[in-house]
Structure 1
């Protein structure tokens, strides 16, 4: 398993847990953290025994956004990490799920601040669970900046347009309850339990046929923004091959035999 100075990687069953680990800075995004994040996404996709990913933060915080010193090239990073960013100027966008979407489901477990770049990364995740005291928001306009991590495109597609524009244009903070009400997160849980609930949700995902799960996610992403006839055609392209898999046959047998299915990604 990979990891960097500010990103830890842990395996919990079939779930890869990526933890933003810079609590002294409320897990502000640094170059080592971003490099580790991208490595984590690649590791999850490359390892067929990984069926889901949980993204969380250490020390009671999710992510307070980009470290502005790191943005200016002065933040913590060794020479090897800086060389990676010089070699791939797109690496930070891939890490933040702007230019890369893992094929495995990604579940966010949010405690504390999830603002600016944290809210932008959140929009690249698939299932979102927030602790009651979590705080969300896109503060960029308050600092004369632009939420260039994808929020002006993704947010109006994920929540009602009026709520998206209010969040983007006011730069105000949002409570977890308000984030749930507008659809930015799916569930609010007691403080200190977001990771536990995320792992429970991941276990439910992991129990399903992995080829079917990945095909469903791929179909949803492929259909985003398309007219319904085109989207429905793409759904068939992704869905039909699933019915021909051995796992589909195993699912039917297990149902008939009243036993848990044993899926083999075949």
Structure 2
């Protein structure tokens, strides 16, 4: 069965605040609170954590896309809900999860979880605070030319707990990372592209279409090879070159001995499209 022949699963909400959709081998996760620019809630982070778990466990899923509903990506934590709950003496769930260091919020925001399959971000509108934080945990990033980025936590005397003080300086230059973290100002999509925070810009309203095009292309590749490449890149990032090359060899040789590797070579010789089964 080819990718285009695979059945389509209708959109089903993981929670009211997260929508998921499996189409062929591509799994799309949509943050769904457009009335508050898809700000994180406890329910949303729970839904995201469940989505990441499914991506890792479901063999039919080869590539995932993360996006936001209503023409915007994510504005981070819901500060209005946090403020209201504190004023009333209650708690908004999100803050309580961070305070008690439960795993769900941190897994949902991809601070303590590394999705094993490629994750593509499709960014429209605002990607602020937690929106820019979760972005750094994705592998490929497509943004609208009108998108706006920024780690604005410091302006509210908050700390970017999504991992940015660790990840950002590894993805852009140290001095640009410190400017972004300490000033808390907005970045245009063009600035984000120039410093390497995103990989490509597209006309407004087309980020998801481009992300899907990339996802479909990746999904046609051998899934074992794709996942092994991501694993090798992640695991060797902080190793010496010698140790990294040794680990790369260990990971890569497992792929070379797979049924899919044999199928790839056989399909090339027979001048046909390969049929990969993840074995």
Q: Which residue of 2 aligns with 1:118?
A: 131
Q: Distance in 2 between matches of 1:11 and 1:71?
A: 33
1: CA distance between counterparts of 2:81 and 2:208? 27
Q: Secondary structure at the match of 1:59?
A: coil
1:67 & 1:237 partners in 2: Cα distance?
44
- Residue 27 of structure 1 corresponds to 38
Q: CA deviation at 1:256?
A: 1.2
CA RMSD of aligned residues (A): 2.3
Structure 1 stretches (4+) deviating beyond 3 angstroms? 69-75, 79-88
1:7 lines up with 2:18 in the alignment? yes
Q: Which residue of 2 aligns with 1:201?
A: 214
| Superposed counterparts of 1:165-176, under 5 Å | 165-176=178-189
When structure 1 is superposed on structure 2, of 176-185 and 66-75 the one drifting more is 66-75
Q: Quick one: structure 1 residues 149 and 73, their matched pair in 2 at CA, closer, same or farther if it must change by over 3 Å?
A: farther
* CA deviation map 1:202-231 (0-9, x unaligned): 001100000110000011110122221111
Matched, 1:187 2:206: no
Query: In the TM superposition, what is the alpha-carbon distance from 1:68 to its structure 2 partner?
Result: 2.4
1:119/1:82 Cα in 2 relative to 1: closer, same or farther (>3 Å)?
Answer: closer
- Structure 2 residues not aligned, in runs of 5+: 1-11, 87-91
Structure 1 segment 40-51 matched on structure 2, within 5 A: 40-51=51-62
Cα-to-partner distance string for 1:63-110 (whole Å, 9 max, x where unaligned): 0010125557949xxx99999999971211111111001111100000
CA distance in 1, matches of 2:77, 2:47: 15
SS in 2 for 1:232: helix
1:245 paired to 2:248: no
Cross-structure match for 1:134:
147
CA contact 2:97–2:105 (8 Å) conserved in 1: no
Tell whether the 8 Å contact from 1:211 to 1:265 is kept in structure 2 after alignment: yes
TM superposition score normalised by structure 1: 0.93
Which residue of structure 2 lines up, in the alignment, with residue 255 of structure 1?
A: 268
Partner SS for 1:213: helix
Given that 1:2 and 1:40 are in contact with CA atoms closer than 8 Å, whether structure 2 keeps it comes out as no
**Kept after mapping to 1: 8 A contact 2:26/2:64:** yes
Whole-angstrom CA distance in 2 between matches of 1:89 and 1:182:
33
Structure 1, unaligned runs of 5 or more: none
